[in-house]
C-alpha cells in the first residue's frame, strides 16, 4: 500500500470522481477502497437509471405549448369570472327596476267633468276650498261634541 496516499484521500478522490495513477495504485492494493469505489459506481448507476435519454423539445414546440395552455387558462378564468358575476348583475338589474318603478309615478287619470263640476274646480284643477263646508277634526274621528 502506498503510504503517501492514504485511504482517506482515496475515498475523497472517489467521491469527486477523480481518476489518477495514485488512486488506481491504491485501489489495486486496498480491498476496502475497491469495494467502496464499486459501491459508489453502483449507486450512481441506480440513481441515473431512471433518467430519460431523450433530446429536449425544440423551442417552437415549447412556446406553442405555453401559448396553448395560457389561452385555455384565460378562457376558463373568463368563464369562471362571468359565472361569478351573473348573480351580481341580476341583483343590480332588479334594484334598478324597482328604483325606476318607484321614481316614475303613473299620470293621474283624466276625468271628464260637467260644466256644473267645473264651476267648483279652481283654475289649477283642484277643488276650491270656499265651496267645501268646514269640518272639525274631532267630527272626522267621531269624538266631536254631541
Contact in structure between 27 and 38 (CB atoms under 8 Å): no
Strand partners, 121: 127
pLDDT value, residue 48: 80
Could you give the CA distance from residue 131 to residue 120 in angstroms, rounded to a whole number?
Answer: 7
Contact in structure between 121 and 128 (CB atoms under 8 Å): yes
List, for residues 59-80, the tens digit of each pLDDT value.
888 888 888 887 777 777 778 8
pLDDT value, residue 17: 80
pLDDT value, residue 1: 47
pLDDT value, residue 91: 92
pLDDT value, residue 35: 93
- Domain segments of the chain as ranges: 7-48, 55-104
pTM of the predicted protein model: 0.34
Could you give the CA distance from residue 27 to residue 4 in angstroms, rounded to a whole number?
Answer: 14
Q: Is the pLDDT of residue 88 over 80?
A: yes
Q: Is the pLDDT of residue 45 over 80?
A: yes
Output the 3-class SS for 14-50: HHHCCCCHHHHHHHHHCHHHHHHHHHHHHHHHHHHCC
Could you give the CA distance from residue 32 to residue 45 in angstroms, rounded to a whole number?
Answer: 20
Amino acid at each position: 500500500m502506498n503510504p503517501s496516499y492514504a485511504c482517506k484521500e482515496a475515498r475523497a478522490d472517489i467521491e469527486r470522481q477523480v481518476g489518477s495513477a495514485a488512486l488506481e495504485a491504491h485501489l489495486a492494493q486496498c480491498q476496502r477502497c475497491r469495494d467502496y469505489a464499486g459501491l459508489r459506481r453502483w449507486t450512481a448507476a441506480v440513481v441515473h437509471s431512471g433518467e430519460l435519454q431523450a433530446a429536449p423539445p425544440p423551442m417552437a414546440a415549447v412556446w406553442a405549448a405555453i401559448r396553448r395552455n395560457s389561452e385555455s387558462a384565460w378562457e376558463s378564468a373568463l368563464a369562471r369570472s362571468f359565472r361569478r358575476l351573473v348573480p351580481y348583475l341580476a341583483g343590480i338589474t332588479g334594484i334598478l327596476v324597482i328604483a325606476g318603478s318607484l321614481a316614475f309615478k303613473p299620470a293621474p287619470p283624466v276625468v271628464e267633468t260637467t260644466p256644473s263640476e267645473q264651476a267648483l274646480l279652481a283654475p289649477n284643477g283642484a277643488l276650491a276650498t270656499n265651496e267645501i263646508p268646514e269640518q272639525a277634526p274631532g267630527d272626522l274621528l267621531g269624538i266631536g261634541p254631541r
